Copies of this chain bind each other. A is one copy, B any other.
Amino acid sequence: MEPVANLGFAQVDLERRERCGFPEVIFCQGKANEWVGEVVRKLHEAGQDCLATRVSDEQAAFLGGHFPKAQQDRVARTFWLPAKAPTAKAGRVVVLTAGTSDLPVAREAVVTAEALGADVHLIADVGVAGIHRLLKHQKEFADADCIVVVAGMDGALPSVVGGLVDCPVIAVPTSVGYGAAFSGVAPLLTMLNSCAANVVVVNIDSGFKGGYVAALIARNARQP
C-alpha cells in the first residue's frame, strides 16, 4: 500500500497504525464537510479504524448520511467507524470528573480509550470539596492501569487522586468555569504544578489525548 494517500487538501498517513499503533485520527474543527468525508472514506477503504473528534453538529449530520454504521456520540462530539468487530479489552482505564460540567471532555476520553481497546470505567462529579465522594471509590482506583482525571476551575482533583494510587494519572484541564479560570488556564497550571509525582498533563479540553495515552499505557501494562 502507498504510505500516504494524497487528496490535495490532505495527505492521509496510511502507515501511522504500523508506526504508532493506531491510525491517524481526524480533527474536524474548522474543516469542510467534504474534506472530512473524504478522509474518512480513504481510511475506511484502506481497512483502518476511523476515529474523528470535535465533530460539529453539521459535520455529524453529513457523516451520518454517508456512513450510517458509524457510532456517533453527541456529548463527546466523536465519530467512530471501526474496521471490524471489537476484540477483547486490553487494560483498565478509569476516567474521573470533578464536576458534571466536565462530562463532554470526559466522554471524549472514554470513546477514545475504548477505540484503542481499553476497558473504561467512568465516575462523574467527585470533586475535592466533598472528599468523601472520592474516597469511597478507592477500590476502583486500585484496579486501574491508568487514571484520567478531568477537571476545570481549581483543577485540584488530580493531586488528590495521584496521592492515592501507584499508576500514572493523566490530568485533563477543562475550560469549565468563569473569570480567573481563564478558559482552562487555571486548572492547566494547577495540574502542571501538582504535588503528586505521578501526574502528567495534556491540553485544555483534550479528552482525546487523555484517553489515547491512558489506553496506550493500559494496553502495554496488560500485554505479556
Classify chain A: how many residues form its interface, as a range. Answer: 35 or more
**Complex interface: chain B residues within 8 A of A205 (CB):** 178-179
Q: Does A180 contact B (CB under 8 A)?
A: yes
Residue of B nearest to A36 (CB): B100
Select from chain B the residue with minimum beta-carbon distance to A101.
B30
Within 8 A of B (CB), among A141-173: 145, 153-156, 159-160, 162-168, 170, 173
A184 to B11, CA, bound (A): 23
Contacts of A162 in B (CB 8 A): 20, 129
Q: In this assembly, does A59 line the interface, its C-beta being within 8 Å of a C-beta of chain B?
A: no
Q: What is the minimal beta-carbon distance from A142 to any residue of chain B, in angstroms? A: 10
Are the C-beta atoms of A216 and B198 separated by less than 8 Å?
yes
Copies of the protein in its oligomer:
8
Of all chain B residues, which has the CB nearest A75?
B32
User: Which residue from chain B places its CB closest to the CB of A166 in the assembled complex?
Assistant: B21
Taking the complex as formed, is A177 at the interface, i.e. its CB lies under 8 A from any CB of chain B?
Answer: yes
Q: A128-B163, A129-B195, A192-B203 are in contact. List 15 more A-B contacts (CB 8 A).
A: A3-B132, A11-B133, A16-B129, A19-B166, A20-B198, A27-B101, A29-B101, A31-B101, A128-B156, A128-B195, A166-B216, A179-B193, A192-B204, A193-B203, A197-B213
User: Can you give 12 A-B contacts (C-beta < 8 A)?
Assistant: A9-B103, A15-B132, A27-B101, A54-B178, A128-B196, A129-B197, A131-B160, A131-B164, A168-B217, A175-B179, A197-B208, A200-B202
Q: Residues of A at under 8 Å CB distance from B?
A: 3-4, 8-11, 13, 15-16, 19-22, 24-25, 27, 29-31, 35, 54, 98-101, 103, 124-133, 135-136, 145, 153-156, 159-160, 162-168, 170, 173, 175-206, 208-209, 212-213, 216-217, 220-221, 223-224
